C-alpha cells in the first residue's frame, strides 16, 4: 500500500517545489515529500535522474465514445493518456449521440470507472445535439459530474444562444469552452489562409475568422460576467484579444496545443492529411505570438485536442479528410523538445501549463502533489531520445504530423491513485 | 535527341513546382520534335507500342482527355479512358482502391484528373505506375503550364525576361498556378490581375506582381493569358454580375492595346466569349488559342514519351 519514489527531482508549482527529494504515497494519496524518507516496509521506485510531477491534465480530448468507437474508445484513449503521462483527461461532447444529457455524462463516467486507465472528466454540450438552436440540460449534466460546457467541434455562431449559454453555465461556476472560428468566414476552408494555401490552391481558413469569434466570445463573457475558456488558440490576433481582456478583468482563460505551438502550415505542403486540423496550423508569425502568449500567461494551459480518426478516414484526399489527429502520446515529447530543450520554457512552467493550470480551470482535484492529494503522478525522463512511431500508439488514431520525428523527453511511468498504470512506455493495468 | 543527362523515365509529373529547369527544358525540346509527327499524313509511330496508359478522370474534361488519348495513340500506346461517373467511384470506392485496381491491370502510366488538390500527389504515394497530373483541383495542371510556355517560346523565341499577364480567376485556377511556377523558373515576369475576391491572399510572396487594375498588368505585356471565369463563382457572390466582370476585367481590343503591339493572347479554354474575352480578341491576329491546343498534344506526347522511355529515339519501338 506504500510506494516511495526515491531521489527524483520533484516539481510541484502549487508548493513552489523544485528539488531532489523522495515522495511517499500511501493509500492512493500523496503522504509526504522529504529527503531521505525511510524505505522500510515500502515499495521503492528509483527515480534518480527523473522528474516527478503532478500527472498531466488534458482538458481537451476526444474519446469518441459513445458512437464513434472506430476512431477511439474510453479504453484505448485512456491508455494513450497513461502512455503520455496524463492522469486526468476531459472528453469533449461531440460524440454520437452528443453528450447533451445527464444520463450520457453518467454513462461515460461509469464506463470510465470500468475500462478507463486514467481519470476521466466529462464536458457537456452547450446546445442540444450541438445543433446551436437551444440549450442542452446544462445544469442536469453538471450535477451529474460534467466539469465544463462546450459545443467544441465547430463554432457556435448564434450570438444569442452563446450569451444564454454563458449566463446559464455561470450559475454553476463552470466555464464555457469555445471553439472559436467564425463559420461564415472559414466557409469551405481546409487549411490556414497564407502563402502556402495560395500556391496549393486550397481554400483557407483565415486567421481573422478566429479573431472575430474570440472577440465575440470575450465581449459576451464580459457582458454576462461569465467564465469563458478559449480552446486551441492559434492566431496572433486571438492572443492579443485575450491578453487585453485579461487586463480588463474578463474571466477568460485559454489553451494552446502542442501542434499549434510548434508547427506551421508548411506541414501540409505535401497534402499530408495527418497535419489537417481545425483551427489550422498557421504561419510562423502566429506560432511566435502563441509562444509569447504562453510565456506571459495570456495562454494558461497546454491541451492536446487529441482528435483521433480511423486510418481509412484520414487516408483520402486532403480536402475530404476529417480535421484532427492523435495528440496524447506525443504532447510531452513535443513540448519538451521544442519548448524546454530550446531554453524557452522551464520545467516548472511546463508542469504548470500541462497540469496545475488546466486542473484549476476545470476546478478539479488534480495538478498538485500536496499531502493528501490523489497520488496522480507523471515520472519523466527529460533526456530520453525516442522516435515517434504512430503504428505503436495505444490510441486508435494513427495519424500525427509528428510521425517519425525524433523527440527528446518522455514520460517513463504514470501513477494514478498510487498505482502504476504505465511503466517504461508500457501501459500496465 | 538532346544528349543531356536529364531523364524523366519513371518520374511522376505532378506539378511544375516540383520540376527542375532542365526537366522543363527537355520536355519543351522534345515537344518540338513531336509537333512534326502531328503534321504528318500518317501520324503513328511505334515508340510506345506495348505500353498502356489509363486516363483516369474524376472530373469532366474534353480537351485534356482527348489530347492525352491522341498523344498516347500517335505514339503507339494503348489508351483507355475511365471517367468517374462510369466507374466504381460512384459506389463509394476510395481513391486508394481505385488506383490499386488500375495498377493491378499492369498499367504503365495513369493520367489523372481529380477535383481535390493533392490527389495526384496521393496517387503517386500509393500507386506504382507513373502518375501524370492532368489537373488536381485548383492546385496544378502541369501539362497546361508546359504547353503555355511552349507556345510562348515558339513565338517569342525565349521565356527569360518575358512579361506575362495572367488575368481572371486566379484563386480557382490550376492553370494559373502551373504557369506561375513554370514561368518564374524560366525567368519570366508574372503579373496577375482579377477581382480581389478571386485573388489568393499572400500569393505575391512567391514572386509575382499582383494588380488591382487589369490595365496595370497588361501594360507592356508580351503575353496575356486569359483564364476562364466559371459562372458558379458569380453564384457564390464572388463578383456581382457577368456584365460587370466583362466591363472591368474582360479582355477587349482596347485593353489589349496596352500590351506590346505583338503581344500574344492565350486562353486555356473553354472560353466564355463576351465574358472574360471579347470575340474579336479571341479570334484576332494576336490570338494563339488554336495553336495552344495543337501544342498541348505535342507536350503530352513528349511527356508520355519521356516518362516511359527516358528519351530514346522517337521513331523506334520502346
CA distance A274 to chain B (A): 13
Which pLDDT score, from 0 to 100, does residue B87 have? 60
Q: What is the mean pLDDT of each run of 10 residues along chain B (318 residues)?
A: 72 97 97 92 91 95 94 97 71 87 96 96 97 97 98 98 98 97 98 96 96 97 95 83 94 97 96 95 97 97 96 66
CA distance B122 to chain A (A): 7
Which pLDDT score, from 0 to 100, does residue B2 have? 47
Residue A208 with chain B: CB contacts under 8 Å: none
CA distance A327 to A36: 37
Interface residues from chain A to B (CB-CB < 8 Å)? 193-195, 197-202, 204, 206, 270-271, 312, 315-320
Catalytic entry in B30, B35, B47, B64: B64
Contact A181, A278 (CB under 8 A): yes
Residues of chain A with CATH 2.30.40.10: 2-51+374-427
What SS3 state is found at B299? helix
CA neighbor of A109 nearest in space, from A63, A172, A71? A63
Residues of chain A with CATH 3.20.20.140: 56-368
Question: Looking at domain A56-368, what is its CATH homologous superfamily?
Answer: Metal-dependent hydrolases (3.20.20.140)
Mean pLDDT of chain A: 97
CA distance B111 to B138: 17
Choose the closest CB to B117 out of A193, A194, A202: A202
Find out whether B260 is annotated in a ligand binding site.
no
Q: How many CB pairs under 8 A join A and B?
A: 75
CA distance B252 to B247: 9
Which pLDDT score, from 0 to 100, does residue B148 have? 98
* B201 CB within 8 Å of a chain A CB: yes
Which pLDDT score, from 0 to 100, does residue A79 have? 98
Q: Is the pLDDT of residue A160 over 70?
A: yes
CA distance A296 to A51: 24
Instruction: Please answer yes or no on whether B117 and A201 come within 8 Å at the CB atom.
Output: yes
Using left for φ > 0, alpha for ψ between -120 and 50, and beta otherwise, residue A225 falls in: left
Which pLDDT score, from 0 to 100, does residue B312 have? 74
Those of residues 250-279 in B touching chain A at CB distance below 8 A are none
Choose the closest CB to A198 out of B114, B119, B200: B200
Which pLDDT score, from 0 to 100, does residue B90 have? 61
Residue A312 with chain B: CB contacts under 8 Å: 94
pLDDT in tens, A362-389: 999 999 999 999 999 999 999 999 999 9
CA neighbor of A177 nearest in space, from A157, A159, A151, A154? A151
Residue B117 with chain A: CB contacts under 8 Å: 200-202, 271, 317-319
Q: Could you name the CATH architecture of B142-291?
A: 3-Layer(aba) Sandwich (3.40)
Provide the residue ranges of all domains of chain B, joining segments of one domain with +: 19-139+294-307, 142-291
Which pLDDT score, from 0 to 100, does residue B85 have? 66
Residue A201 with chain B: CB contacts under 8 Å: 117, 137-140, 171-174, 177, 200
Which pLDDT score, from 0 to 100, does residue B92 have? 75
CA distance B151 to chain A (A): 23
What SS3 state is found at A355? helix
Percent of chain A's residues with pLDDT above 70 = 100
Which residue of chain A is at minimal alpha-carbon distance from B94? A316
Which residue of chain B is at minimal alpha-carbon distance from A195? B202
Mutate to test the interface with A, among B18, B93, B117 (most CBs of A within 10 A): B117
Which pLDDT score, from 0 to 100, does residue B177 have? 98
Q: Span A284-310, mean pLDDT?
A: 98
Q: Span A6-14, mean pLDDT?
A: 98
**Which residues, listed in sequence order, are joined to residue A204 by a DSSP beta bridge?**
A191
C-alpha cell at A182: 467564425
* B141 CB within 8 Å of a chain A CB: no
Instruction: Please answer yes or no on whether B201 and A206 come within 8 Å at the CB atom.
Output: yes
Residue B171 with chain A: CB contacts under 8 Å: 201
Cis peptide before B310 (omega within 30 of 0): no
* Least confident residue range of A103-112, A151-160, A196-205: A151-160
Instruction: Please answer yes or no on whether B17 and A312 come within 8 Å at the CB atom.
Output: no
Instruction: Please answer yes or no on whether B116 and A195 come within 8 Å at the CB atom.
Output: no
Which residue of chain A is at minimal alpha-carbon distance from B15? A200
* B89 CB within 8 Å of a chain A CB: no
C-alpha cell at B131: 502518375
What SS3 state is found at B23? helix
Which pLDDT score, from 0 to 100, does residue A162 have? 97
* B116 CB within 8 Å of a chain A CB: yes
pLDDT in tens, A215-249: 999 999 999 999 999 999 999 999 999 999 999 99
* Least confident residue range of A27-36, A214-223, A351-360, B305-314: B305-314
Instruction: Please answer yes or no on whether A199 and B177 come within 8 Å at the CB atom.
Output: yes
- Which residues, 6 or more positions from B40, have their beta carbon under 8 angstroms from its beta carbon? none
CA distance A364 to A358: 9
Confidence of residue A327 (pLDDT cuts 50, 70, 90): very high
Question: Looking at domain A2-51+374-427, what is its CATH homologous superfamily?
Answer: Urease, subunit C, domain 1 (2.30.40.10)
CA distance B287 to B281: 7
Which pLDDT score, from 0 to 100, does residue B1 have? 45
CA distance A188 to chain B (A): 12
Domain B19-139+294-307 -> CATH class: alpha beta
pTM above 0.90, yes or no: yes
Burial B131-163 (b: 16+ CB within 10 A, else e): bbbbbbbbbbbbbbbbbbbbbbbbebeebeebb
Catalytic residues of A: 305
Amino acid at each position: 500500500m506504500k510506494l516511495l519514489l526515491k531521489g527524483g527531482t520533484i516539481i510541484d508549482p502549487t508548493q513552489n517545489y523544485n528539488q531532489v527529494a523522495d515522495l511517499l504515497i500511501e493509500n492512493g494519496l500523496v503522504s509526504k515529500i522529504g529527503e531521505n524518507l525511510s524505505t522500510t516496509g515500502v515499495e521503492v521506485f528509483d527515480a534518480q535522474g527523473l522528474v516527478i510531477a503532478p500527472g498531466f491534465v488534458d482538458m481537451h480530448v476526444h474519446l469518441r465514445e459513445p458512437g464513434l468507437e472506430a476512431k477511439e474508445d474510453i479504453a484505448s484513449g485512456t491508455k494513450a493518456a497513461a502512455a503520455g503521462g496524463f492522469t486526468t483527461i476531459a472528453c469533449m461532447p461531440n460524440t454520437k449521440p452528443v453528450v447533451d444529457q445527464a444520463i450520457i455524462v453518467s454513462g461515460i463516467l461509469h464506463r470510465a470507472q470500468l475500462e478507463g486507465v486514467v481519470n476521466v472528466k466529462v464536458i457537456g454540450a452547450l446546445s442540444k445535439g450541438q445543433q446551436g438552436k437551444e440549450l442542452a440540460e446544462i445544469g442536469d449534466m453538471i450535477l451529474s459530474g460534467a466539469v465544463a460546457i462546450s459545443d467544441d467541434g465547430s463554432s457556435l455562431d448564434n450570438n444569442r444562444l452563446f450569451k444564454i449559454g454563458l449566463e446559464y453555465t455561470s450559475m454553476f461556476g463552470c466555464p464555457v469552452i469555445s471553439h472559436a472560428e467564425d463559420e461564415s468566414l472559414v466557409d469551405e476552408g481546409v487549411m490556414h489562409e497564407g502563402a502556402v494555401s495560395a500556391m496549393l490552391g486550397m481554400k483557407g481558413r483565415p486567421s481573422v475568422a478566429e479573431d472575430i469569434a474570440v472577440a465575440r466570445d470575450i465581449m459576451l463573457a464580459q457582458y454576462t460576467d461569465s467564465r469563458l475558456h478559449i480552446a486551441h488558440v492559434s492566431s496572433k490576433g486571438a492572443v492579443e484579444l485575450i491578453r487585453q481582456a485579461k487586463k480588463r478583468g474578463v474571466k477568460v482563460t485559454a489553451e494552446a496545443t502542442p501542434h499549434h505551438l510548434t508547427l506551421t502550415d508548411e506541414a501540409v505542403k505535401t497534402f499530408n492529411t495527418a497535419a489537417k486540423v481545425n483551427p489550422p496550423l498557421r504561419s510562423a508569425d502566429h506560432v511566435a505570438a502563441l509562444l509569447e502568449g504562453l510565456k506571459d500567461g495570456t495562454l494558461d494551459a497546454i491541451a492536446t485536442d487529441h482528435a483521433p480518426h480511423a486510418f481509412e478516414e484520414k487516408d483520402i484526399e486532403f480536402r475530404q479528410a476529417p480535421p484532427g489527429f492523435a495528440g496524447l502520446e506525443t504532447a510531452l515529447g513535443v513540448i519538451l523538445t521544442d519548448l524546454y530543450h530550446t531554453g524557452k520554457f522551464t520545467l516548472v512552467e511546463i508542469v504548470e501549463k500541462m497540469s496545475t493550470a488546466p486542473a484549476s480551470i476545470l476546478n478539479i482535484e488534480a495538478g498538485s502533489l500536496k499531502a493528501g492529494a490523489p497520488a496522480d503522478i507523471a515520472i519523466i525522463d527529460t533526456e530520453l531520445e525516442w522516435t515517434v512511431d504512430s503504428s505503436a500508439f495505444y490510441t486508435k488514431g494513427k495519424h500525427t504530423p509528428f510521425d517519425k520525428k525524433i523527440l527528446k523527453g518522455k514520460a517513463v511511468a504514470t501513477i494514478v491513485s498510487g498505482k502504476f498504470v504505465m511503466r517504461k512506455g508500457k501501459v500496465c493495468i | 535527341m538532346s544528349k543531356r543527362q536529364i531523364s524523366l523515365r519513371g518520374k511522376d509529373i505532378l506539378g511544375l513546382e516540383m520540376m527542375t529547369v532542365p526537366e522543363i527544358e527537355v520536355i519543351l525540346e522534345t515537344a518540338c520534335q513531336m509537333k512534326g509527327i502531328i503534321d504528318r499524313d500518317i501520324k503513328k509511330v511505334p515508340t510506345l507500342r506495348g505500353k498502356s496508359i489509363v486516363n483516369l478522370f474524376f472530373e469532366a474534361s474534353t480537351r485534356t482527355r482527348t489530347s492525352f488519348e491522341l498523344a498516347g495513340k500517335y505514339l503507339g500506346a494503348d489508351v483507355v479512358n475511365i471517367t468517374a461517373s462510369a466507374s466504381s467511384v460512384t459506389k463509394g470506392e476510395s481513391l486508394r482502391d481505385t488506383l490499386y485496381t488500375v495498377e493491378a491491370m499492369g498499367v504503365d502510366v495513369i493520367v489523372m484528373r481529380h477535383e481535390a488538390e493533392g490527389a495526384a500527389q496521393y496517387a503517386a504515394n500509393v500507386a506504382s505506375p507513373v502518375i501524370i497530373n492532368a489537373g488536381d483541383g485548383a492546385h496544378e495542371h502541369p501539362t497546361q503550364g508546359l504547353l503555355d510556355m511552349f507556345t510562348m517560346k515558339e513565338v517569342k523565341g525565349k521565356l527569360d525576361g518575358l512579361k506575362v499577364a495572367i488575368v481572371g480567376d486566379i484563386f480557382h485556377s490550376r492553370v494559373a498556378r502551373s504557369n506561375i511556377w513554370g514561368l518564374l523558373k524560366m525567368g519570366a515576369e508574372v503579373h496577375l490581375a482579377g477581382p480581389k475576391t478571386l485573388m489568393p491572399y499572400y500569393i505575391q510572396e512567391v514572386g509575382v506582381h499582383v494588380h488591382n487594375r487589369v490595365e496595370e498588368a497588361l501594360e507592356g505585356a508580351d503575353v496575356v493569358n486569359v483564364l476562364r471565369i466559371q459562372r458558379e463563382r458569380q453564384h457564390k457572390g464572388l463578383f456581382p454580375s457577368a456584365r460587370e466582370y466583362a466591363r472591368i476585367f474582360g479582355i477587349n481590343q482596347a485593353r489589349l492595346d496596352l500590351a506590346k503591339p505583338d503581344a500574344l493572347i492565350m486562353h486555356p479554354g473553354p472560353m466564355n466569349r463576351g465574358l472574360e474575352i471579347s470575340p474579336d480578341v479571341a479570334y484576332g491576329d494576336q490570338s494563339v488559342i488554336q495553336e495552344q491546343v495543337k501544342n498541348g498534344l505535342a507536350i503530352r506526347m513528349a511527356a508520355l514519351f519521356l516518362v516511359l522511355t527516358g528519351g530514346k529515339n522517337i521513331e523506334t519501338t520502346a
